[in-house]
């Protein structure tokens, strides 16, 4: 687990019971003619339903004990993982099959917990549960424990520093990184700006809670006056691999060289935002008219 004192939140990675905790034998039958006892197996569906219930029954007491341990704890991010061996590769894996984020005031009071129906309670807490937990079908955690790999700084309100029709090239690189973070936050994500020179290849981290398109993304913000080449795509891809990030976003005040879009498309999890698109996003989500003072930069119709 890790604790963020600023948000009074603990993020926990919990090892859930393995599938073997569910007995696959439902009952036994004695056969007098053969003088033997024969196993009556449970139906596969019943085994799967029992395991889903067990997962919920383990998660709820863990959350209760954490809240009881520290009265100042405001919320918990909980990710339940199961150790397993991939039957195809033989590699050891640790899939996440249950994830939730819950505030103290949304969690059932200790005296009521023994009266809840575990699966219904977990569902009511807006948890994401694998569709097939017994098959160890993995899910994307709502809030990733691996956020602890980044070194964050206090968020700066870069939007407040923008005057009427400001030039983004007049911003400091640090303020530009905060601005990019705020654009993401205005679109419904949560964002953090990393410390300078502490996270090579990462300027910001954004998390989306949507179970369909959510996950953790790392951001590179380039306040450049010249073209951004394919090498920057490779740099971002390397940072994503190192940080185990699901997605990457490359934002620039300039434009991308030919071949960048194809490279990003081939990678499959990289988004490119050039100067024209950035101007649009700032206008659309932050309500600010900005310009980018780069000679000969291709401009959108809204900037002309």
Residue 147 confidence class, pLDDT cut points 50, 70, 90: low
Q: For residue 212, what are the contacts with CB-CB under 8 A and spacing of at least 6?
A: none
pLDDT score of 141: 77
Task: Give the pLDDT confidence of 67-113 residue by residue, as tens digits.
Answer: 999 988 999 989 999 988 877 888 888 888 998 889 999 998 767 88
Position 210 pLDDT exceeds 60:
no
Domain ranges of the chain: 2-146, 150-303
Average pLDDT score over the chain:
83
Three-class SS string for the chain?
CEEECCCCEEEEEEECCCHHHCCCEEEEEEECCCCEEEEEECCHHHHHHHHHHHHHHHHHHHHHHHHHHCCCCCEEEEEEECCEECCCCCCEECCEEEEEEEEHHHCCCHHHHCCCCHHHHHHHCCCEECCCHHHCCCCCCCCCHHHHHCCEECCCCCHHHCCCCCEHHHCCHHHHHHHHHHHHHHCCCEEEEECCCCCCCCCEEEEECCCCCCEEEEEEEECCCCCECHHHHHHHHHHHHHHCCCEEEEEECCCECCCHHHHHHHHCCEEEECHHHHHHHHHHHHCCCCECCCCCCCCCHHHC
pLDDT score of 72: 87
pLDDT score of 273: 94
Topology at the third CATH level for domain 150-303:
Trna Endonuclease; Chain: A, domain 1 (3.40.1350)
Half-sphere exposure of 68 (CA within 13 A, CB side): 11
Task: Give the pLDDT confidence of 18-63 residue by residue, as tens digits.
Answer: 989 999 999 999 999 989 999 999 999 999 999 999 999 999 999 9
Position 212 pLDDT exceeds 50:
no
Question: What percent of the chain clears pLDDT 70, i.e. is strictly above it?
Answer: 84
Task: Give the pLDDT confidence of 248-297 residue by residue, as tens digits.
Answer: 899 999 999 989 999 999 988 899 999 999 999 999 998 888 889 887 76
């Amino acid at each position: 687990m890790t604790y963020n004192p600023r948000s009074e939140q603990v993020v926990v990675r919990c090892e859930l019971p393995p599938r073997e905790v569910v007995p696959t034998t439902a009952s036994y039958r004695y056969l007098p003619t053969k003088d033997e006892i024969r196993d009556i197996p449970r139906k596969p569906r019943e085994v799967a339903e029992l395991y889903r219930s067990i997962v919920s029954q383990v998660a709820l007491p863990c959350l209760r004990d954490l809240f009881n341990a520290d009265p100042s704890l405001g919320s918990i991010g909980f990710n339940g993982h199961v150790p397993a061996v991939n039957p195809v590769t033989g590699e050891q894996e640790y899939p996440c099959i249950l994830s939730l984020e819950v505030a103290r005031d949304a969690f059932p009071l200790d005296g009521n917990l023994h009266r809840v129906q575990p699966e219904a309670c977990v569902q009511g807490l807006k948890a994401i549960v694998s569709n097939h937990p017994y098959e160890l079908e993995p899910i994307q955690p709502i809030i990733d424990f691996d956020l602890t790999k980044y070194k964050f700084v206090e968020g700066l309100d870069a939007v407040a520093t923008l005057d009427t029709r400001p030039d983004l090239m007049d911003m400091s690189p640090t303020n530009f990184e905060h601005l990019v973070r705020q654009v993401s936050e205005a679109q419904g994500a949560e964002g953090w700006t990393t410390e300078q020179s502490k996270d090579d290849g990462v300027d910001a981290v954004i998390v989306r809670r949507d179970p369909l398109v959510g996950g953790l993304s790392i951001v590179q913000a380039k306040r450049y006056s010249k073209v951004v080449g394919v090498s920057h795509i490779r740099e971002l891809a390397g940072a994503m691999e190192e940080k185990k990030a699901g997605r990457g976003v490359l934002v620039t005040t300039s434009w991308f060289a030919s071949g960048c879009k194809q490279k990003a498309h081939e990678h499959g999890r990289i988004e490119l935002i050039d100067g024209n698109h950035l101007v649009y996003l700032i206008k659309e989500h932050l309500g600010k008219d900005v310009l980018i003072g780069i000679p000969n930069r291709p401009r959108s119709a809204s900037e002309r």
